[in-house]
Structure 1
Amino acid sequence: MLNQPSAIESVRINRIESDDKVFATTENGQMIELHITDQQKKDRLFWESLINILRAELWLPLQKKTHELLKNDWLTTDGS
């Protein structure tokens, strides 16, 4: 069995500059900009949750290829 790298990585939100500028740090210390979908940009509950996550310094799952947060948090097996 080949050891394939996961399509998901853990990130912690560092700062929120605007509705399309959210920055996070990976477990390896790399700073990345998250891709915020159009639906998320309009969702007040998403932003309230993201601010609470930032304050609590929680780790979130991120799709490596697209830099999008996973819709189902950690409760997914296929990375979508």
Structure 2
Amino acid sequence: MAASGHSSTDEVLENVQEETSKESKLEFSSDEEDLIIRMYNLVGERWDLIAGRIPGRTAEEIEKYWTARHSTSE
């Protein structure tokens, strides 16, 4: 039983670390923001192309950033 308790603690810590990591990755520099906006105006929602221009960023990160920043309230 003690081993399973330890395992669930490890899982909780991993989840917290992943969430923290995801939040920090959604912080973009002003240069990255400018590039994302320019690329979006050129190619639209082709996140993989945009991510190809920003080292260390994934298409998913950029799409989440864009959605969070530019979503419209209906």
Point out the structure with the larger strand share. Answer: 1
Flag the structure with larger Rg. Answer: 2
TM-score, normalised to structure 1, is 0.25
Point out the structure with the larger helix share. Answer: 2
TM-score, normalised to structure 2, is 0.26
